[in-house]
Amino acid sequence: AGNEAYRNLPDAVREAAAPYVTKRQGEYTVDDYRKLPEDVRAELIDGVLIFLEAPTFTHQELVTELLFEIKLFIRAKKGPCRVLPSPLDVQIDCDDRTIVQPDIALICKEEKITRKGIYGAPDFCIEIVSDSSRKRDYGIKVQKYMNAGVREYWIVDRKREKIVCYWFEGEDAPEISMYTFREKVPVRIYDGQLEIDFPEIMRRLWKEE
């Protein structure tokens, strides 16, 4: 049991990954993960290998818009942080059992950036919900990001047209705020100086569609 995600992959991808799917779920390591073919997208969470579907065009458009807004702000402020999209290996627990692929990760400590990806917790992570990722984004990733030291985590749910924002710092952590796509959403790691204008982003996306 446990390799259902593997069995449901497209034939070509499953054939490419087959030689590497040899252990029981919960036993996989970072070394096993790194042996996967480059064209096989996956995450490793507590030794469980999770194969990822290719993102849709709409998903990638939304990632691009959010990334653009954050990057513009960092450049304007001449800030030290880096913001990067998936695919990006994030060894969030600094162990050999977990590597995640946030859709967007913002990293403010240069020493966490390595040749292979990110070693440690990003300051800010965003996940764009898809049908296949919904359970993880709302479940295990909340716990993983909070326990690892991520400061802020957004779940952007286009199907439900809402943004769930987790703030993991302070005595009241986690603080949870919810917004709709009709609102501007403040980025708390920047004390609200950066607001993501979701109405404008959606207007641009709808225009392009």
Q: Tens digits of per-residue pLDDT, 17-60?
A: 555 567 888 899 999 999 998 888 999 999 999 999 899 999 99
For residue 99, what are its two tokens?
A: 């590597």
Query: What distance lies between CA 40 and its chain's CA centroid?
Result: 17
CA distance 209 to 197: 19
Cα–Cα nearest to 53, from 145, 136, 153, 138:
136
Half-sphere exposure of 60 (CA within 13 A, CB side): 7
98 shares a domain with 26: no
Domain, as residue range, for 93: 57-208
**How many structural domains compose the chain?**
2
131 shares a domain with 32: no
CA distance 181 to 158: 8
Q: Please state the pTM of the whole predicted model.
A: 0.88
* CATH assignment at residue 61: 3.90.1570.10
In this structure, what DSSP letter does residue 18 have? G
Q: Which residues of the chain have pLDDT under 50?
A: 1-2, 4-7, 9-16, 209
CA distance 125 to 155: 9
